[in-house]
Structure 1
Amino acid sequence: MLPGTTDVLIVGAGPTGLTAALTLARRGVDVTLVEQRETPAVTSRAAVVHAYTLEVLDRVGAGAPLVERGLRSARFSVRDRDRVLITVPFDRLPSRHRYALMVSQSVTEEVLTERLAEAGGRVLRPYRLTGLRQEPDGAVAQFGDTTVRARWVVGADGIRSTVRELAGIPFTGPDGSAESFVLADVRVDSALPRDGASIFLARGGPLVWAPLPDDRVRLVATVTDPPAEPDLPYLQRLLDERGLRREPDQVREVLWSSRFRLHRRVAETFRAGPVLLAGDAGHVHSPAGGQGMNLGICDAVDLGETLSAVLAGGPDTILDEYAARRRPLAHEVAGFADRLTRLATVPSAGRPARDALLRLVSALPPVRRRVALRLSGLSQRPSDRVSHPATSR
């Protein structure tokens, strides 16, 4: 049952909303987390948690239990069929987490939900936001015939965010049609090592091959007109056309598959009065590089710490600072994902030059380090964290 009042109302219980609620609950904040789905999703898009995100999750007690459930990836390789163009090792990252953690988003959500319960919080389902009115001392959210008064409302409700739309925040990006993607978890016989992920740069678009626990592999590919539920023959053709040539992968089983379309978009502001955005509600872009969920989780901890500071007596202007920090990062990550996609779709005549250039620069340790820092998210690490007078419990 929904409460009549709350300090912070979070709409959306994906990784971003769960992380924000956990951050606030551990600091003793009265937080309400609502989700319109009746049950948690059992399939998910994101499959990697990067080093900086794990550092951030360590701050809210969720890093270690998540690491226990995942598979550590030692490197990330950029390939053109059988040729390795760049290998980016993670073993020298300036972090306690010298790897990328391969783990399904559904598992990430399970861990966050468990930690939230330990902090005294839970997800309230199923409640769909139907109205949002801003007032001088906060906002009033409408869920059908029920209203909730909140000092602050956080939109963590994804690409089609109702919070963002009701707050009147524009969601803009470059002109052009949406990109289409295929997503699948498969079991596959492959010559590729299971201690690292790969992205294949192919004429039809990039193909990501990422190992997961339980002998699964996550496939993500940019395609023109995918079927609603890509089947085994379709995924096999993708691997034949874009993956290894000399020892091609053989798909043994499709555990689940899907398609999705998205535009590159970033909200014009992450704050409108008492309304704040985090995660896909504020930014969406190509999944190349596996940055989306990671950025959303980092948004959530930053926002949770900042809101805690405000509720402990700090000025609400520091929420403007949150918005000013997160929006440029969203543009930076979106641009990085776009560059990976453009590298993949270089016309045939330019591919030999592209491959030669990538192999040349990959021989330079400073270049490999910069790419590793970007992929791992450590390039986003601030010199100073948000300070707050509230104490964790």
Structure 2
Amino acid sequence: MGRGQGPTPDTDVLVVGAGPAGLTTALQAQAHGASVRVVDRRPHLTRPSRALMLHARALEGLRPLAVTGELLSRADTTPEARLHLGRRIVEARLGHADLPDTAFPHLTLVRQADVEAVLWQALQERGVHVDWGVEFRGLGRGGVQPEGGMVRAQLYRDGGGREEHDARFLAGCDGQAGTVRSITGARWEGGPYRVEAVLADLELDGPLDPGVLHVAVGSAGLTFLFALGEGATWRMLATRPADPQPAALFGQLGPAVPPGEVERLVRVSGLGAAVRDVRWSAQVALQHRLASSFGVDPVFLAGDAAHAHSPAGGQGMNNGILDALNLGWKLGFASTAGGLLPELLSSYHQERRLAARQVLALTHVIFFGEASPHPAARLARSILPALAPVLPFLLRRQWLTSKGIRLLAQPFVRYRSSAVSIDGTPRSVRWPRPGDRLPDAPASVAGREVRLHDLTALPGVHLLLERDAGTDALDALALPARAGHSPLVHVHRLSSHPGRGVVAVRPDGYVGFSCGEADPAQVGDWLRLVGALPP
């Protein structure tokens, strides 16, 4: 029995967890046709930030959801850093890099709390409200109902009150210690780090410029100080040997750190500052983990519920948002397609688990160099001051900065082997392969000079027609697929691109289909495969 033939769900998608991954999943699913409910066991939105950076791919993916403007208004997109190597200080400008294929060629420093506030406000404006103080504790009577294709979730509200909520899909975005993963049977592969993080909001005395990110690298580990504190001027992130028995669950903010220990971490960093006041602090146990499965229809995992990283490279929040951008449009289309879409739904695990494994490897290597107590890592950090004279020359090289910013934006993530990455016949040779990200580039449409990412900055699938492609049949494909909804298939003719081909860009910015001839039959087959058109 297909979807829509069984009992009627309360909502299409129930999202458990209102962090960046959960809020993005809800926004993306709602923008692509699903009804959504979000629950979180926290009593309210506000909490201290653990992440402080967004990269280009996350911003590109969020752009069609109309939130990037507000995010950038709260961010520093021209950060500067001072690398403290003993008595030597090396300046590094981390602002706009030479990256012509993105509208966001920079590191973006922004508090996780601000990211969550912007996403939450966007949901509010779309009529999707987060139910705070509501905890998911498992499956209710009937659990997963195969005939109706639904999940019956058991929810408990603070202060008493229990309810059961039926949804077509359950998105577990409830963190490293979340409940949803336990009901999927997924193994939590990996292990703890021998190093933990200490976060603190501080008032400092000393010569540190508040407009600069200060980084101290020593044989014992790493210390960051930057003026993005929430309870005070400065936020500190430092590493130290981990407690063999962590006082808090992995990935969650643990107990406060004694002020004397915070003062010691600042003192031994060599940054030359003195702690005047410790307003807030927490220890954070760190681990490297990957779920053996990111879910099977109708239960899915995203963000920290699916993978756990070190803080290295600022990848955790970004990777969760990229999970959500991938999962959300698929749940939206599957909710309203009127039938099962097995290839589309299974492609989420296929695509994002491989991506998470690659990112986990990257953060593992970076964190080893930054903070590992291993003798080789300690030795490498101890000789960095000797390299200080050549570092300014290297950091002034634009290509080096650009390479670093590009690497953090995950250019290696591709979905070429995905079930929904399809090469048409004849194969196109002028566009990225299906499964690759569509790079930004100049284009002309109806006499207007635009950028490709300007064209795709709306929810839905975007068909980019080359100049000489036929359009009569393709125009029909762009009609609204669902009564009462805006079109989710958009057609653009590129007068700047000669040829007769077509490329289909997925809602998350990746190429899903390309063909050297704009054959309506092949394009329609792919659109139906992903649920953008009715079967």
Query: Cα distance, 1:39 vs. partner?
Result: 1.7
Structure 1 partner of 2:154: 142
Structure 2 partner of 1:235: 262
Structure 2 partner of 1:181: 197
| Structural mapping, 1:162-241, within 5 Å | 162-173=179-190, 175=191, 179-189=195-205, 191-212=207-228, 216-224=233-241, 228-241=255-268
For residue 276 of structure 1, the aligned residue among 288, 297, 300 is 300
Deviates more, 1:9-18 or 1:343-352: 343-352
The superposition leaves residues 339-378 of structure 1 with CA deviations (integer Å, 9 ceiling, x where unpaired) of 2222234234773279639948657654433211123456
* 1:208–1:288 contact (8 Å) kept in structure 2: no
Residue type of the alignment partner of 2:263: Q
User: Helix, strand or coil for the counterpart of 2:383?
Assistant: helix
Query: Cα distance, 1:47 vs. partner?
Result: 1.9
Check if 1:21 corresponds to 2:26: yes
Structure 2 partner of 1:287: 311
* 1:53–1:377 contact (8 Å) kept in structure 2: no
Residue type of the alignment partner of 1:321: S
Q: C-alpha distance in 2, partners of 1:70/1:200? A: 23
| Structural mapping, 1:297-316, within 5 Å | 297-313=321-337, 315-316=341-342
Structure 1 partner of 2:437: 383
Normalised by the size of structure 2, how large is the TM-score? 0.65
Residue type of the alignment partner of 1:146: E
Query: Cα distance, 1:85 vs. partner?
Result: 6.5
Query: Cα distance, 1:73 vs. partner?
Result: 3.9
* 1:189–1:61 distance in 2 versus 1, CA, 3 Å: farther
Check if 1:113 corresponds to 2:123: no
Query: Cα distance, 1:243 vs. partner?
Result: 3.8
| Structural mapping, 1:225-374, within 5 Å | 228-244=255-271, 248-313=272-337, 315-344=341-370, 345=372, 346-348=377-379, 351-352=382-383, 356=387, 359=391, 366-374=399-407
Query: Cα distance, 1:318 vs. partner?
Result: 1.5
User: Helix, strand or coil for the counterpart of 1:29?
Assistant: coil
* 2:192–2:286 contact (8 Å) kept in structure 1: no
Q: C-alpha distance in 1, partners of 2:94/2:234? A: 20
Query: Cα distance, 1:88 vs. partner?
Result: 6.2
Once superposed, what is the RMSD of the aligned Cα atoms?
3.2
* 1:285–1:304 distance in 2 versus 1, CA, 3 Å: same
* 1:74–1:98 contact (8 Å) kept in structure 2: no
For residue 44 of structure 1, the aligned residue among 49, 67, 73 is 49
Deviates more, 1:136-145 or 1:31-40: 136-145
* 1:349–1:8 distance in 2 versus 1, CA, 3 Å: closer
User: Helix, strand or coil for the counterpart of 2:42?
Assistant: coil
* 1:169–1:269 contact (8 Å) kept in structure 2: yes
* 1:117–1:355 distance in 2 versus 1, CA, 3 Å: farther
* 1:71–1:213 contact (8 Å) kept in structure 2: no
For residue 35 of structure 1, the aligned residue among 27, 40, 49 is 40
Q: C-alpha distance in 1, partners of 2:88/2:487? A: 49
The superposition leaves residues 78-127 of structure 1 with CA deviations (integer Å, 9 ceiling, x where unpaired) of 55344457846331252333433333222221111111010110111322
Q: C-alpha distance in 1, partners of 2:200/2:268? A: 16
Query: Cα distance, 1:225 vs. partner?
Result: 5.1
Normalised by the size of structure 1, how large is the TM-score? 0.86
Q: C-alpha distance in 2, partners of 1:199/1:392? A: 48
Larger Rg: 2
* 2:138–2:183 contact (8 Å) kept in structure 1: yes
Query: Cα distance, 1:261 vs. partner?
Result: 0.7
Q: C-alpha distance in 1, partners of 2:361/2:31? A: 34
Q: C-alpha distance in 1, partners of 2:170/2:325? A: 15
* 1:106–1:75 distance in 2 versus 1, CA, 3 Å: same
Identity %: 29
User: Helix, strand or coil for the counterpart of 1:317?
Assistant: helix
Q: C-alpha distance in 2, partners of 1:392/1:81? A: 59
Query: Cα distance, 1:60 vs. partner?
Result: 1.0
* 1:85–1:101 distance in 2 versus 1, CA, 3 Å: same
* 1:203–1:209 distance in 2 versus 1, CA, 3 Å: same
Query: Cα distance, 1:195 vs. partner?
Result: 4.5
* 2:78–2:96 contact (8 Å) kept in structure 1: no
Residue type of the alignment partner of 2:296: A
* 2:23–2:119 contact (8 Å) kept in structure 1: yes
Check if 1:124 corresponds to 2:131: yes
Q: C-alpha distance in 1, partners of 2:378/2:226? A: 25
Structure 1 partner of 2:441: none
Query: Cα distance, 1:306 vs. partner?
Result: 1.9
Residue type of the alignment partner of 1:272: V
Residue type of the alignment partner of 2:165: V
Q: What runs of 5+ residues in structure 2 fail to find an aligned partner?
A: 1-7, 157-161, 244-253, 415-435, 439-455, 463-480, 489-535
Name the one with the larger helix percent.
Answer: 1
* 1:130–1:240 distance in 2 versus 1, CA, 3 Å: same
Query: Cα distance, 1:305 vs. partner?
Result: 1.6
How many residue pairs align between the two structures?
387
Residue type of the alignment partner of 1:67: L
The superposition leaves residues 313-362 of structure 1 with CA deviations (integer Å, 9 ceiling, x where unpaired) of 28232222222222222222222222222223423477327963994865
Q: C-alpha distance in 1, partners of 2:91/2:242? A: 29
Residue type of the alignment partner of 2:255: A
User: Helix, strand or coil for the counterpart of 2:65?
Assistant: coil
Q: C-alpha distance in 2, partners of 1:353/1:66? A: 35
Q: C-alpha distance in 2, partners of 1:349/1:55? A: 36
Residue type of the alignment partner of 2:12: D
Residue type of the alignment partner of 2:178: S
Query: Cα distance, 1:203 vs. partner?
Result: 1.9
Structure 1 partner of 2:247: none
